[in-house]
C-alpha cells in the first residue's frame, strides 16, 4: 500500500507553498518575464506603438558602430575611479570612528545621512553647489585661493569629476559602516601581540588591518562596480541630453534615452543585454581573482 501523507503534514506543505508563492510570483512576473521579453526585443525593431519587426542582429551591428555607445561606455568606466577613492576615504573614516569617545555615534550618524537621503533632492542640491556663477564651491575657491572655479556641469572635462565627487559624498557613509563593522570584528589580541613584537602602527595596519578587512574590500569593489555601471539618476537630473559633448551620459542613461526619448525599444533592449553581460563578466572575474587576495578564515 502507498504511504499517505498525514493530514497535519499536508497542511504544513500547503502553508509553506502559500508563504513562498508571493516572492516566486513576483520573480516570474517582474523579473523573469521582462528578462525573456527584452532578450526577444533585442532582435527586433519596436517603437512601442506599432507591431515589432524581426531584424536579426541589426541592433547589435548598429550599437557597435554608434559613437554615442562608446562615449557613454567610456564615461561609465571613467566613473569607476570613484570606487578606489571611496574605499580609501571610507576606511579612513571608519578608523576615526572606531574609537570609544563620548558622542562618537552622533558623528557616525552624520556621515551616514547622505546614504538615506533622496537621490533627486541630493542631485538638485549639488546642482546648486556646483553652479558656475553663484555655487558655494566656486565661491569657496575664489575666497580661499583667489581663482575662478571650473564650470563643473558645463565643461566636458569637469562633468565626470563632478559626478565622482557627488558619488563620494553620498556613498562613503555606507561603506564606512561596513568597514567599521569589520574593524570591530578584528580581535584586539592581534594588535597586542604585534605591539609586544615591536610592530609600528603602520606595520599593524599593513599586516593586520588591511588583510583582515579584505572581505569588506571585495564586497565594496563588487558592489561599487555594479552600482557605477547602473548609475543614472544624477545624470538624468544634472546632465541634460548627456551633458556637454555627451560627456555626462552613462550607459544606462544612453539606454533610457534610446528607449523613452527616441522610442527604439528593441535597440535599447540590445544595449541592456550587452550591459548585463559586461557586468556579469566583470563580477565573475572579480570572484575568480578574489581567492588570491581575500582573507579566508
Chain segment 171-214, per-residue pLDDT in tens: 999 999 999 999 999 999 999 999 998 989 999 999 999 999 99
- Cα dist. 54→114, 255, 262, 282 in Å? 46, 20, 19, 30
199 and 281 together in one domain: yes
205 is written with which cell numbers?
595596519
67 and 55 together in one domain: no
Q: Is residue 1 part of a domain?
A: no
DSSP line for 203-258: HHIIIIIHHHTHHHHHHHHHHHHHHHHT--HHHHHHSGGGSGGGTT--HHHHHHHH
190 and 245 together in one domain: yes
CA pair distance 212, 203, nearest whole angstrom? 13
282 and 172 together in one domain: yes
Q: Which long-range contacts (CB under 8 A, 24 or more apart) does 277-286 make?
A: 278/229, 279/225, 279/226, 279/229, 282/225, 282/229, 283/222, 283/225, 283/226, 286/218, 286/221, 286/222, 286/225
194 and 220 together in one domain: yes
Average pLDDT over residues 158-178: 94
Predicted local confidence at residue 272, as pLDDT: 96
φ and ψ at 158, to 5 degrees? -115, -5
18 and 72 together in one domain: no
What is the extent of the structural domain holding 247?
61-293
15 and 108 together in one domain: no
CA pair distance 238, 204, nearest whole angstrom? 43
pLDDT above 80 for 6? no
pLDDT tens readout for residues 96-149: 999 888 888 898 999 999 999 999 899 999 999 999 988 999 999 999 988 889
Is the CA virtual torsion 281, 285, 288, 291 positive or negative?
negative
Q: Is residue 172 part of a domain?
A: yes
47 and 113 together in one domain: no
2 vs 262: which has the higher pLDDT? 262
CA pair distance 294, 92, nearest whole angstrom? 20
80 and 49 together in one domain: no
User: Which of 42, 59, 76 is the C-terminal boundary of a domain?
Assistant: 59
φ and ψ at 26, to 5 degrees? -60, -40
Query: How far is residue 274 CA from its own chain's centroid?
Result: 18
110 and 256 together in one domain: yes
Q: Is residue 2 part of a domain?
A: no
76 and 50 together in one domain: no
pLDDT tens readout for residues 134-153: 899 999 999 998 888 999 99
Q: What is the share, in percent, of the chain residues with pLDDT greater than 90?
A: 79
Count of domains observed in the chain:
2
239 is written with which cell numbers?
546632465
55 and 67 together in one domain: no
Q: Is residue 264 part of a domain?
A: yes
Give the 3-state secondary structure of residue 52.
coil
Classify residue 148 by its DSSP letter: P
Classify residue 2 by its DSSP letter: P
Average pLDDT over residues 284-291: 92
Q: Is residue 105 part of a domain?
A: yes
Classify residue 54 by its DSSP letter: E
pLDDT above 90 for 11? no
User: Which of 59, 80, 96 is the C-terminal boundary of a domain?
Assistant: 59
Amino acid at each position: 500500500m502507498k504511504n499517505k501523507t498525514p493530514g497535519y503534514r499536508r497542511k504544513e506543505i500547503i502553508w509553506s507553498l502559500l508563504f513562498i508563492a508571493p516572492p516566486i510570483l513576483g520573480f516570474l512576473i517582474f523579473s523573469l518575464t521582462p528578462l525573456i521579453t527584452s532578450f526577444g526585443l533585442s532582435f527586433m525593431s519596436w517603437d512601442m506603438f506599432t507591431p515589432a519587426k524581426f531584424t536579426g542582429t541589426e541592433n547589435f551591428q548598429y550599437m557597435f558602430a554608434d559613437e554615442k555607445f562608446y562615449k557613454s561606455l567610456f564615461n561609465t568606466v571613467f566613473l569607476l575611479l570613484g570606487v578606489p577613492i571611496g574605499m580609501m576615504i571610507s576606511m579612513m573614516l571608519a578608523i576615526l570612528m572606531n574609537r570609544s569617545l563620548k558622542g562618537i555615534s552622533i558623528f557616525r550618524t552624520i556621515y551616514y545621512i547622505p546614504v538615506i537621503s533622496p537621490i533627486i533632492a541630493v542631485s538638485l542640491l549639488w546642482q546648486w553647489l556646483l553652479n558656475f556663477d553663484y555655487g558655494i564651491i566656486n565661491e569657496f575657491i575664489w575666497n580661499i585661493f583667489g581663482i575662478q572655479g571650473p564650470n563643473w556641469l558645463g565643461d566636458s572635462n569637469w562633468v565626470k569629476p563632478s559626478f565622482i565627487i557627488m558619488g563620494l559624498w553620498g556613498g562613503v557613509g555606507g561603506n564606512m559602516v561596513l568597514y567599521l563593522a569589520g574593524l570591530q570584528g578584528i580581535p584586539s589580541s592581534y594588535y597586542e601581540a604585534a605591539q609586544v613584537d615591536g610592530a609600528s602602527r603602520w606595520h599593524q595596519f599593513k599586516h593586520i588591518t588591511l588583510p583582515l578587512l579584505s572581505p569588506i574590500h571585495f564586497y565594496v569593489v563588487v558592489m561599487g562596480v555594479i552600482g557605477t555601471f547602473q548609475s543614472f539618476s544624477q545624470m538624468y537630473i544634472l546632465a541634460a541630453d548627456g551633458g556637454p559633448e555627451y560627456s555626462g551620459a552613462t550607459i544606462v542613461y544612453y539606454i533610457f534615452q534610446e528607449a523613452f526619448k527616441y522610442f527604439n525599444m528593441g535597440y535599447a533592449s540590445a544595449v541592456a543585454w550587452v550591459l548585463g553581460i559586461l557586468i556579469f563578466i566583470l563580477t565573475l572575474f572579480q570572484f575568480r581573482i578574489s581567492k588570491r587576495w581575500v582573507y579566508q578564515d
